[in-house]
């Protein structure tokens, strides 16, 4: 992704990521694979999570064509879209579960696993800036961050870290995931979303968002 709002900045696109809570850092941790650019761990503060949620929620109307729906039906439409997105996630997770009849790993599989075990550790960044782009019913989030722990002791520039491209249902899934993980962190986010199902009723194993 290239951000042209100020100067051209290139972000490495990630198609797969997971989010966990790190109690030691009191941060949400986005773990992503950036292909040839390697894995990365991106730390999200409570403040950054609020910024991300605010931006995602503000784009939902345009992303889902909600602006064409009478305002009195928005809550009902959002709730239905959210339920459908979470059901799609549940179905995808169940389909991805290994079957008893699966074939045993081949020598190539073992070799790939061994190579992965000696891969370099992920780079670590603290998320500091967020850019949102909406185009053709697809939302892209791009993060800049400070390299850690280097930036704790040395003045460092904010670097482009990664971009994440999301379809409408993935935006709903990400909103749910961020709220669920924030509850796990006991952050008590000041959110009021009547159309959102109780996050506590959703499983917390929503680690991988995009398959």
177's CB contacts (< 8 A; 6+ apart) are 19, 206, 209
**Residues 49, 28 contacting (CB under 8 angstroms):** yes
The C-alpha atoms of residue 1 and residue 9 are separated, in whole angstroms, by: 8
Check residue 199 and give its pLDDT. 41
DSSP secondary structure code for residue 186 in this structure = T
**pTM for the full predicted model:** 0.75
Alpha helix stretches (DSSP H) within the chain: 46-64, 74-96, 107-117, 150-153, 168-184
Per-residue pLDDT of 73-88, as tens digits, reads: 666 767 777 777 777 7
Mean pLDDT per 10-residue section of the chain, whose length is 211 residues: 63 89 94 90 96 90 71 66 74 67 60 60 94 89 95 93 91 90 91 62 36 29
Check residue 200 and give its pLDDT. 42
Check residue 81 and give its pLDDT. 73
SS3 state at 196? coil
**CA of 51: how far to CAs of 19, 28, 69, 104, 124, in Å?**
16, 13, 26, 45, 20
**CA of 154: how far to CAs of 37, 147, 149, 157, 194, in Å?**
24, 10, 9, 10, 45
**How many CB atoms are located within 10 Å of the residue 4 CB?**
8
């Amino acid at each position: 992704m290239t951000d042209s709002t100020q100067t051209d900045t290139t972000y490495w696109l990630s198609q797969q990521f997971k989010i966990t809570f790190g109690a030691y850092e009191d941060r949400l941790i986005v773990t992503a694979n950036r292909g040839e650019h390697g894995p990365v761990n991106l730390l999200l503060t409570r403040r950054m999570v609020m910024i991300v949620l605010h931006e995602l929620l503000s784009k939902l109307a345009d992303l889902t064509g909600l602006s064409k729906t009478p305002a009195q039906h928005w809550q009902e439409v959002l709730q239905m879209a959210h339920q459908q997105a979470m059901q799609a996630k549940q179905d995808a997770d169940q389909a991805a579960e290994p079957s008893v009849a699966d074939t045993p790993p081949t020598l190539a599989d073992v070799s790939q696993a061994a190579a992965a075990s000696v891969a370099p550790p992920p780079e670590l960044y603290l998320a500091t800036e967020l850019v949102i782009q909406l185009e053709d019913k697809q939302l892209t989030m791009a993060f800049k961050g400070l390299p850690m722990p280097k930036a704790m002791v040395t003045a460092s520039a904010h670097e482009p870290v990664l971009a994440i491209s999301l379809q409408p249902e993935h935006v709903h899934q990400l909103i749910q995931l961020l709220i669920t993980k924030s509850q796990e962190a006991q952050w008590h986010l000041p959110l009021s979303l009547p159309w959102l199902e109780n996050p506590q009723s959703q499983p917390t194993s929503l680690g991988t968002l995009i398959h």
